[in-house]
Structures are given as structure tokens and as C-alpha cells.
Amino acid sequence: MTELRDLITNGQLRRITRWGEPVMHAPTRPVTDFDDDLATLLRDMFATMAAAEGVGLAAPQVGDDRALFVYHCPDADDKIHTGVMINPVVTLPDGRDRNLESEDEGCLSLPGAYSPLARPDHAVCRGLDHNGDPVEIVGTGLLARCLQHETDHLSGVVFGDRLSDRSRRRLYGDHEALAYRYPDDWPVTPKGEFDPTR
């Protein structure tokens, strides 16, 4: 049995895939093997997420088509939650219990760009942990958004798909304006500050 703390150290950085690459827009496949290869992927994902200063990272974002994500994210009370979610299913409130919160959302696979997006402020995510044991996490605040965002990735959905055409064009424009800061293999090569156009 692998401990979570053993997965959040000693990983290797991987290139973060970008919107437009096929793996980002295709459904993932369920995880059935809880082996050393999976543990290596999870270690690398934690390392990559930390280097990119993200709060969540789905397997397609490192070019892998398995249905899983990692997270290190605060909830509405600023409590940090860290974990692995494999083959996840998100349940969202409906009716009177459904409260939409519009906040800026970004994606490590479209670095530098943010757009307001309304999502439910509460989410329950159920799946398996890194050992294949059932796990459930209740998300509020940013964690609720993270759980929805990362689970979307596993269905081939990026948050830009949920925006209006106008908002999506603005989002892409913001990304293009800052693209020079993000090398193609980022975060293997760190983000730069130098503007080559000046």
C-alpha cells in the first residue's frame, strides 16, 4: 500500500499539454491497474502541478489518457485538501440547494488567461484513491470549482467550452498576449519574464 505522502515527492516534471492537442479534447479511459506505472504518473503530476503553481491537474494535461486527477486546493474555509481522484464522478446540487458562483477561472493548459465562469459552489466527488480504495471529497469554494474543472478534463471538456463565443475569443486573446512567457515544454522550462517583442 502506497501512502499519499510518498506520491507528493520525488516526481519528475512533465510538459503540460495545451488546448487544441487531441488528448485534451477526448474522453479518458478508466483506470484498472494500480501499479508502479500509475504511482510514477501520480508523482510526476504532483511535481508538475506544484511547479506550475496549480491547484489541480488532470492526466490529459500531461498527455496521459487515464481518468484521474491530483489536487492541492483550498476550500471555502481556506483549508488545503491534497489528494488523488481516480475514475471520478461529480455530483452537483440542484433545485434550491444549487447556488452558482461566478469567479475567474483559468487552466494550466491555456496559461496566463482567465475568464469569469459560473459554477455551483458545492460539489461532491466520488472515485478511487491511488490504492484503488473508494474515496469521497466534499468541495466548497475554490475546491468545488477545482473538482468540476478537473472532472471536465476527463470528459474531454475544457472550461472554454462552457463560455460564450465572445468570452472565449477574449480568453484566447489574453492567452496569446502572454504566450511568450510560457515555453512549449513549460513547466519543464520555467516561465519567463522577458518579452522578446520589446
Catalytic amino acids? 150
User: CA nearest 107: which of 165, 58, 178?
Assistant: 58
Cα distance between residue 138 and residue 144, in whole Å:
8
Pick left, alpha or beta for residue 52 (phi over 0 → left; psi -120 to 50 → alpha; otherwise beta). alpha
Cell of 42: 501520480
- What's phi and psi for 173, nearest 5 deg? -65, -45
Alpha-carbon distances of 149 from 39, 143, 155, rounded to whole Å: 23, 10, 10
